[in-house]
Amino acid sequence: MLDKGEKLEVCLEMLKNMQATEREERAAEREMRKVEMEREVKLRELELREKELAHGNVQPHSTPNLKSKLPKFHEGQDPDVFLKSFEKLAVLHKIPKLEWALRLVPLLCGKALEAFSRLSDEDSRNYDTITFSYILSRYELTTGI
């Protein structure tokens, strides 16, 4: 393994280099595991948040006094104007779109609320489905899209 002519210092230097390389590899593996674990935690948090939103078990995006700032829908009001106002305020307050359906429903009344109540559980979680497919069609309006 060692040539007769190699000096002990050279051998020690090689050993130190090998050990340093192994330490670096182990440190890199630990760092990779740490990053992977952090990614897993974030993924689990997102999955949990999504499930909570889907089941309505979560407090909406926290914005102080936001409820009073969102317009309530009144029977006879133009639903298109109401929805555009709602969307603009939701964007201004940086409410994630996943929460829009959750925020919209308490503001509905009359025929709009009736239309919502006819939706499947899955459709009732989707803002676009609520607004475009059911509420606007209920009032026989088009979105212009």
Q: Are residues 28 and 54 in the same domain?
A: yes
Residue 80 lies in a domain: yes
Q: Are residues 87 and 48 in the same domain?
A: no
* Listed residues 30, 58, 86: the one ending a domain: 58
Residue 145 lies in a domain: no
Residue 2 lies in a domain: yes
pTM: 0.49
pLDDT in tens, 73-102: 888 888 888 888 889 988 988 889 988 988
Number of structural domains the chain divides into: 2
Q: Are residues 110 and 46 in the same domain?
A: no
Where are the alpha helices (H) located in the chain, listed in sequence order?
A: 8-55, 66-69, 79-92, 100-104, 110-117, 127-128, 136-138
- Residue 33's domain comprises 1-58
Residue 95 lies in a domain: yes
